[in-house]
Structure 1
């Protein structure tokens, strides 16, 4: 859906003289945005969504483990929150209030999915010819394509970190940690004391842990990335559904 198709714009009859959502959301506190949205200003709720989209998406994604289901859950949660804004009193932060609604929606989806799941008796499953059932019974998690790809990426990262070790540490680590030579054997090969082998191996492992931890920390903020397209898609979906519900309600009143 393009931006021009959104049900709310600066020229929309219901928006009056409100600023554009980006301008409104830049300086206005959450509590003020909530009051404006509760008073019927759709642009204020759009600003709320754009401000908290990533936090709420990651909350839903962590529970549901599916990007698409997290998006659907987030839209439902936003619609619930929009309808309940009159009950928001500001005793907690708006973000906390929204996260609670989003988490409850996600957990509710999990419960409904579990309640509606088909449970196949073990005896019937063992005799089943259904390909999905057979795969579930015979599949080896370590041999799944996604698992193999993840292991390849981890191996590349580990190899790169090993290459960064000082020469003396790297050689000891390869012989002791990768090739699994004994301390005595490594000492004989490199013609160094066994105590030195132990010290260098310990230090090499410590450096690897520190390097891998730094790499994880550097990429952690990018986990479950939330790009502009996804943000726009969720906002557009919520506004469209809200607009459709308002129109349906108006027709019913008539």
Structure 2
């Protein structure tokens, strides 16, 4: 079913909206949550919370594309759950990918404020527009969908080492870009 029709079902307050959303994006949405949380049960809870959040947001929101909206909702819920889980107990193995580039981003409280104001988002979008298709794909799969390097390399048909090398180069270029934009010093 097309996204536009699913959104219409939400506006009609039809339970079929959730069924169709789950059919079309559920598996990918839960994968994002699992990649962040490393816990199937928490990921399932996040998926249900995401469905409730989307149900409550649409209407009045009329997301286009629906996929981006749905992934943003599940991602944000999973990150909040991750922070809540790790506030009590730190687990190095389940670290979120953004921590890998955390040393080139401003401190977390600044990030939250800037994201709310869309300033950092706009700057990151400008940076992303400078990347070629392959690097953009790698960056988004790693830091948006939280895929693991072996999965990314398998999808692209390249070695893990090549992906790690590209990620390291992008991290360095992002650091320089953020300095140039005045986001960090």
Q: TM-score band (shorter)? A: 0.3 to 0.5
TM-score (norm 1): 0.34
User: Rg larger in 1 or in 2?
Assistant: 1
TM-score (norm 2): 0.46
